[in-house]
């Protein structure tokens, strides 16, 4: 048994951690998992909360081993194992002029995890979520059989698996539609904004001109400048033989045991980051690392939060409720807790996945250290949960570690359809995670 956690370092679980190489070992691990505690698949451990761990049960690290291959290069159709990372897909497809259609803020996410969480990126207003670019997938079910699933063969199972947090089976492989790009550099426009209203206006205006658009916002500053930000918009551009991805430059030492993220340090960092950005839009060519994955250049950066760890709170509010976003932002800004790495984006078209998170609207993600006052933090977040639900919003399950199950059906109206599929393919709940038990999934 081993103690593990998600990327946020909290909560922790004591679990039977098993590594399986290939479909036969995966099927054996599924068959031998404890019937009362079950099993959940785990990739590279970048889910922030408790979605990829099972206390008292089996946590299966999947290593399917197959290298990416082209199914049809002319159409950008690529076949990848579930254990292949976003970074591996980029390195494979880059020489042929392709890029991953959707990428999160780290390249250290597996294909299986990307499908299970139906990840989104800075281009959701153009590209939607990851599941929209999956042609088909191969899934190991609770009974041990492997099935190929697409929107035609079993639409409900496909929609329950995309965004289904690994609860319908073990994803083994997937066929992904990559996008053609002119080169592996990004042409990036960067500028700062004076307050939240200006930041939102700038993001709205960028949708028609840029594939990628995101804003860092300052929630350590209160008053008229609350929500001031740094907006970065980008499109793909040509390159001059540069490598698509670099390597980690520095790592946070493993003996780091005290958190340095507090209100004074967050305020100082935010001021520096804001002043560093140009007042007027400035254009520059950037690498994939610098634009998409700046935190990947710092290995184990989650250790900055100390032994207690942190949580990432991400929600989406529909556009018709956008007037509540300043109110929620102000509650976070005026709380006693240091709110760091606040990221604001606009979502476009919704996926058909029953538990897929993105829906048209505004999404805000913030990191908050687990403090010495966890009950006060939970009271704050519960009040935000209620406000988000009352305005038609939802919380991202891939990053959640503390949501109450009674709010889930209001956030995810297709929950009933998901549970019907789950009952059909896994009636004995062979697949379980700490998240699924906590939320009653």
The pLDDT of residue 252 is above 90: no
Average pLDDT over residues 342-364: 97
Lowest mean pLDDT among 77-81, 198-202, 250-254: 250-254
Higher pLDDT, 46 or 255: 46
Average pLDDT over residues 335-361: 96
Average pLDDT over residues 112-139: 98
Whole-number Å distance between alpha carbons of 328 and 332: 6
Query: What pLDDT does 303 receive?
Result: 87
In sequence order, what are the beta bridge partners of 2? Answer: 15
Average pLDDT over residues 320-331: 96
Query: Going by C-beta distance under 8 Å and a sequence separation of 6 or more, which residues neighbour residue 319?
Result: 360, 361, 362
Give me the chain's average pLDDT, please: 94
3-state secondary structure 193-239: ECCHHHHHHHHHHHCCCCCEEEEEECCCCCHHHCCCEEEEEEEEECC
Higher pLDDT, 241 or 118: 118
- Over the stretch 12-46, which tens digit does the pLDDT of each residue have? 999 999 999 888 999 999 999 998 999 999 999 99
The pLDDT of residue 116 is above 90: yes
Q: Where does the pLDDT of residue 251 fall: very low under 50, low under 70, confident under 90, or very high at 90 and above?
A: low
- Over the stretch 378-424, which tens digit does the pLDDT of each residue have? 999 999 999 999 999 999 999 999 999 999 999 999 999 999 999 99
pTM of the model: 0.96
How is residue 124 written in tokens?
Answer: 């959701």
**CATH numbers and ranges of domains, the chain:** 2-63+425-430 (3.30.43), 69-181 (3.30.465.10), 185-408 (3.30.70.2520)
In sequence order, what are the beta bridge partners of 175? Answer: 79, 136
The pLDDT of residue 121 is above 70: yes
For 32-44, b/e burial (b = at least 16 CB within 10 A) is ebeeebbbbbbbb
The pLDDT of residue 256 is above 70: no
Report, in this order, helix, strand and coil percent for the chain, each rounded to 5: 35, 25, 40
* Cα dist from 124 to 130, 153, 197, 236, 333, whole Å: 9, 27, 21, 15, 26
């Amino acid at each position: 048994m081993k103690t593990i956690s998600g990327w946020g370092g909290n909560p922790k679980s004591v679990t039977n951690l098993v590594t399986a190489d290939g479909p036969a070992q995966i099927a054996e691990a599924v068959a031998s998992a404890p019937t009362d505690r079950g099993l959940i698949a785990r990739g590279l451990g970048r889910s922030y909360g408790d979605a990829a761990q099972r206390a008292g049960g089996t946590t299966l690290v999947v290593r399917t081993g197959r290298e990416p291959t082209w199914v049809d290069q002319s159409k950008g159709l690529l076949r990848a194992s579930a254990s292949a990372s976003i970074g591996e897909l980029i390195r494979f497809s880059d020489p042929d002029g392709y890029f991953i259609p959707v990428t999160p803020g780290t390249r250290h996410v597996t294909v299986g995890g990307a499908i299970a969480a139906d990840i989104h990126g800075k281009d959701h207003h153009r590209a939607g979520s990851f599941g929209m670019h999956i042609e088909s997938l191969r899934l190991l079910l609770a009974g041990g059989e492997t099935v190929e699933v697409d929107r035609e063969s079993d639409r409900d199972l496909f929609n329950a698996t995309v965004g289904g947090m690994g609860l319908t089976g073990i994803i083994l492989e997937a066929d992904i539609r990559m996008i053609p790009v002119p080169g592996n550099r990004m042409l990036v426009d960067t500028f700062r904004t004076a307050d939240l209203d200006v930041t939102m206006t700038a993001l709205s205006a960028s949708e028609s001109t840029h594939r990628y658009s995101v804003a860092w916002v300052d929630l350590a500053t209160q008053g008229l400048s609350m929500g001031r930000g740094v907006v970065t918009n980008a499109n793909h551009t040509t390159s001059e033989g540069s490598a698509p991805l670099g390597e980690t430059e520095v790592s946070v030492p493993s003996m780091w045991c005290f958190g340095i993220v507090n209100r004074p340090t967050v305020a100082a960092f935010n001021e520096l980051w804001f002043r560093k950005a140009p007042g007027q839009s400035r254009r520059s060519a950037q690498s994939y690392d610098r634009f998409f994955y700046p935190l990947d250049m710092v290995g184990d950066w989650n250790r900055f939060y100390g032994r207690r760890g942190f949580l990432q709170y991400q929600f989406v509010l529909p556009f018709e409720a956008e007037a509540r976003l300043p109110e929620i932002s102000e509650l976070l800004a005026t709380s006693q807790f240091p709110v760091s790495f606040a990221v604001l984006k606009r979502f476009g078209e919704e996926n058909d996945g029953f538990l897929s998170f993105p829906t048209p609207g505004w999404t805000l993600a913030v990191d908050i250290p687990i403090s010495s006052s966890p009950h006060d933090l939970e009271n704050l977040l519960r009040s935000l949960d209620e406000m988000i639900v009352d305005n038609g919003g939802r919380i991202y399950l891939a990053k959640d570690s503390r949501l109450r199950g009674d709010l889930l059906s209001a956030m995810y109206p297709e929950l009933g359809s998901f549970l019907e599929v789950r009952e059909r393919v896994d009636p004995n709940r062979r697949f379980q995670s700490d998240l699924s038990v906590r939320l009653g999934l």
